[in-house]
A and B are shown apart, each in its own frame.
Chain A
Amino acid sequence: MNTLEFTAVVWVGSLLAGFLGALTGLGGGVVIVPLLTLVFHVDLKYAIGAALVSVIATSSGAAAAYVKEGYSNVRVGMFLEIATTIGAISGAGLALYLKANVIAIIFGVVLIYSAYTSIRPQPHDSIKQQPDRLATWLQMDSTYPTANGLESYHVSGIPLGFLLMFVAGVLSGLLGIGSGAVKVLAMDKAMKLPFKVSTTTSNFMIGVTAAASAGIYLSRGYIDPGLAMPVMIGVLMGSLTGARVLANANVRILRIVFSTVIGALALEMIYSGITGKI
């Protein structure tokens, strides 16, 4: 295979990964790593480097839209980015001390959890929270657009949310992913933000979290231009297409099918990690 053919094949694969990532809500980065390592036999370090770059592209692209529509809670995001950036720098440091097969196993487990959360029915936001002292001091309470106009909400559970965000940051720095699933867990479950606010604020934070470890990856030589180029362009185009399809179709069944496929890829990664093939 020459360079042009390899680039074309990786580009098509990344297009597909970005498309699936957007439809399932998992993000393209988390799909591209198993694709590159299991199908193209790319070393995990190069795969993680390329994935991290594509994560910044898709999350910044999507965040631009959500922020303008008024879904994302910028204050919550900004405050919690302290936890995710510290986590991401720690995670990128931790990656130096862990063997590739251990990282592959952790990746598989996180991927299975993410796939599970994407097919779980979305929770309803009916519970009215009481104002929380810390959240009031941090001016986090806000509004978001719903079918019945702007609705206000209160934020709570900040310490637990902060801790979970640190974990999300570590996983992001270690695995080169956005760890949107853990970020949503922190905001939706621990801090009781409305689901739509949680997912869009998570997206808003992913770019900054990924940027915190990207410099470390670049300096270690994990980011190869020849590989990152088709991956970044492919994932970005795929996720933009996926987002468009998502807006116009009921994708519940597609979601279940794709999440099952991604779950199978995750098991394959865990198996490869255990047998030392990665």
Chain B
Amino acid sequence: MSDTTAAQHLKADQKMDAIMGILLRSGVILAASIVLIGGILFLVRHKTPVTDYHIFSGEPSDLRSIAGIFADVKAFRARGLIQLGLLVLIATPVARVVFSLLAFMYQKDWKYVVFTAIVLGLLLYSLLGSAGA
């Protein structure tokens, strides 16, 4: 690799880093805002005694899957809204990996395109394979 291409490489990397930083921050802010709105709604509506977290009973099925959470959000259920915020949060690092994949493609860095694609595949397998149904 010549010095000029190395320098170009570094510059492209720095640009990629800057965009990645913005992407991560926006994802966290968006997620926290949705969780907060859902949380306020939850607290206003639920004046009942606290849920017993001492014994694990698992969440109802609507809060366990992506489709169920979206159905809850449509019905404007507070717990569904919080769960949507948490989904956005989980999706934030995934979006970062998608962005990395595009950036490595743009740089024609095929080795890292392959590595990033493997990570993305594993993430989607885990997310959609379990919570997608």
A-side interface residues toward B, CB under 8 Å? Answer: 1-7, 40-46, 53, 56-57, 60-61, 63-65, 67-68, 70, 72, 74-75, 78-79, 81-82, 85-86, 88-89, 92, 138-139, 143, 207-208, 210-216, 218-230, 232-233, 236
B-side interface residues toward A, CB under 8 Å? Answer: 9-10, 13-14, 16-18, 20-22, 24-25, 27-28, 31-32, 35-36, 38-39, 42-43, 46-51, 53-56, 58-60, 63-65, 78-80, 82-83, 86-87, 89-94, 96-97, 100, 109, 111-112, 115-116, 118-119, 122-123, 125-131, 133
A224 touches B51 (CB 8 A): yes
A4 touches B100 (CB 8 A): no
**Smallest CB-CB separation from B83: which chain A residue?**
A225
B47 touches A70 (CB 8 A): no
Q: Which of B86, B96, B131 has the most CB of A within 10 A?
A: B86
Given A74-B13, A219-B131; A225-B86 close (CB under 8 Å):
yes
Residues in B neighbouring A4, C-beta threshold 8 A: 43, 47
A221's contact among B39, B59, B91, B111, by CB below 8 Å, is which? B59
Residues in B neighbouring A65, C-beta threshold 8 A: 21
Residues in A neighbouring B65, C-beta threshold 8 A: 218-219
A229's contact among B17, B21, B82, B87, by CB below 8 Å, is which? B82
Given A3-B46, A40-B53, A221-B59; A138-B111 close (CB under 8 Å):
yes
A70 touches B126 (CB 8 A): no
A99 vs B21: C-alpha distance when bound (angstroms): 39
B18's contact among A68, A143, A212, by CB below 8 Å, is which? A68
**Smallest CB-CB separation from B20: which chain A residue?**
A67
Residues in A neighbouring B18, C-beta threshold 8 A: 67-68
Given A53-B89, A75-B112, A225-B42; A211-B50 close (CB under 8 Å):
no
A251 vs B101: C-alpha distance when bound (angstroms): 39
Nearest 7 pairs of A and B residues by beta carbon? A221-B58, A225-B82, A215-B127, A207-B93, A221-B59, A219-B130, A68-B21
Residues in B neighbouring A214, C-beta threshold 8 A: 90, 127
Residues in A neighbouring B47, C-beta threshold 8 A: 2-4
11 further interface pairs, Cβ-Cβ under 8 Å (given A68-B18, A89-B125, A221-B63): A3-B47, A7-B43, A60-B93, A65-B21, A68-B17, A78-B112, A82-B122, A221-B64, A224-B51, A226-B51, A228-B82
B86 touches A223 (CB 8 A): yes
Residues in B neighbouring A57, C-beta threshold 8 A: 28, 31-32, 89
A85 touches B83 (CB 8 A): no
Q: Which of A57, A210, A226 has the most CB of B within 10 A?
A: A226
A225 vs B38: C-alpha distance when bound (angstroms): 9
A230 vs B65: C-alpha distance when bound (angstroms): 21
B122's contact among A89, A210, A219, by CB below 8 Å, is which? A89
A56 touches B93 (CB 8 A): yes
Residues in A neighbouring B64, C-beta threshold 8 A: 218-221
CB distance from A82 to the nearest CB of B (A): 5
Given A78-B115, A211-B93; A229-B35 close (CB under 8 Å):
yes
A233 touches B130 (CB 8 A): no
Residues in A neighbouring B83, C-beta threshold 8 A: 223, 225
A212 vs B48: C-alpha distance when bound (angstroms): 34
Given A53-B89, A79-B115; A232-B123 close (CB under 8 Å):
no
A148 vs B110: C-alpha distance when bound (angstroms): 34
A81 touches B119 (CB 8 A): yes
B86's contact among A86, A139, A208, A228, by CB below 8 Å, is which? A228
